[in-house]
Each structure stands twice: as C-alpha cells, then as structure tokens.
Homo-oligomer: A and B are copies of this chain.
C-alpha cells in the first residue's frame, strides 16, 4: 500500500477540500461504521486512507477491498483528515448516490424545511429509512453529506433517497398536480390529528425548523396536522415530532 506522510500531499488536500464542498459529487466519510456502510451498499469508493494501526486490523479488510485506491497515512495526516477528536484512522472518498429530482406519485415522503441542525437532520433520515418511507425532501436544510449529519444518519445517507428541492413551492405544486397530498405539521389543537396520516399513500408531510415552524407559503399549500399534547405547552423537538408523523405515515 502506498504511504502518504505529508499533510500537504495533493490527495490529502483534495480529501480535506471535500469537507466543505457541498457541490462536489464526492464526499469524505470518516470512521469504520460509515466506511463499512459505504462498502456494503455498493457506494463507489474512490480512495481509502488508513492509519498504520488500522491497516493491520481485520476490520478494514472489506473496505480496502471495495476501494479503487488505498493509502496508508501517518498519524499527523490522519489528524488533518479527521473531523472527530479521536479518529479511528479510516477515511474513504465516496461517490455520493445520485440525488433524485422527482417524487414517485404513490410514495410517502417527509419534507424538511430549513432544518439546519445536522444531528436532527441525520436522525430524521435514519428514522425515515427505518419506517420504510420512499424518501426525504430537503428544502434549505443543512448538507446531508456534512460529517455530523452522515454520522447521525448511521449510514442511511448512502441508502435512502434525498431530494434537494431548490424551489420548494414549484416542487410542491408539481407534486400536487400529480395527485399527491401535502400535510403540514403544526402546533394547533384545532388541526387534524396526526392519526389521519395512517393508511394513506401518495403523500408528503412537511416539518419546519424548530424555532420558526413551517413558512406561510408551505402552510398555504397543505392540510395542517398536529400531535395531540397533554402536557404543558412545550412543543416537541422537531425530530421527535417528525418521528410521530412518520410512525403514523408508516401504518
């Protein structure tokens, strides 16, 4: 395996540049779990970088096998690539799965508007996959392939379709024209109970960001639904609310 000892090696510089390049077709994945997820899900792995210690571990064998090119790196190079404090010593440059641009009219989708917290975003992605939804539609959200969002998604980002809608209103109008229903999560005891989402298909359920909720423009297009609350008027965290919505959608 070729050894890279310089933090200024062009391959390392390129790998680091991916951390802040949302528009790239490639992403730098860090850690055994995420790199394994990539290898296991037929994600194209362009390069794999492993520390000397990791190179000797059996745990990385399948990842090295799946990777077009493999490099051994020093601890200093490892620290440069790492996003975490105690890196495990394995990094892969992965090709992002092709983003979808259209919804399947009979499918079930969660739409997130302006969700910026990568931990929340990744958790919702993982949960959407577990509930068997058709995909997630992201409007003005954080980068699905940011390091923290990828970690929180537990690899779901490599498997589960995310549609990044540039103009959410045009997108939703088109979806409605195809016969899909839009539901909007709100805090309003007069809105329909979320249980109304059960047993339906051809639907998009929208969740806004925690501070501001959904925009007026999206609210104007859909049917408001709400989670009955018995306790004080504290609203749910956005990702807990989305979990209940998806649970009902999955029924």
Chain A positions near chain B (C-beta within 8 angstroms): 123, 126-133, 154-156, 159-160, 227-232, 234-237, 239-240, 243-244, 247, 250
Contact = CB atoms under 8 A, between A and B. Distances in A.
Copies of this chain? 2
22 contacts: A123-B237, A123-B240, A126-B234, A126-B236, A127-B237, A128-B231, A129-B231, A129-B232, A129-B234, A130-B232, A130-B234, A130-B235, A131-B229, A131-B231, A132-B229, A132-B231, A156-B234, A159-B232, A236-B243, A240-B240, A243-B244, A244-B247
A129 B230 CA distance: 8
Nearest to A154: B234
A127 B240 contact: yes
A223 B83 CA distance: 42
Contacts of A128: 231
Contacts of A159: 232
> Most chain-B CB neighbours within 10 Å: which of A155, A228, A240?
A240
A246 to B, nearest CB: 9
Chain A interface mostly helix, strand, loop or mixed? loop
Given A130-B232, A227-B247, 8 more contacts: A123-B240, A127-B240, A129-B231, A129-B232, A130-B236, A132-B229, A159-B232, A239-B240
A237 to B, nearest CB: 6
B250 A131 contact: no
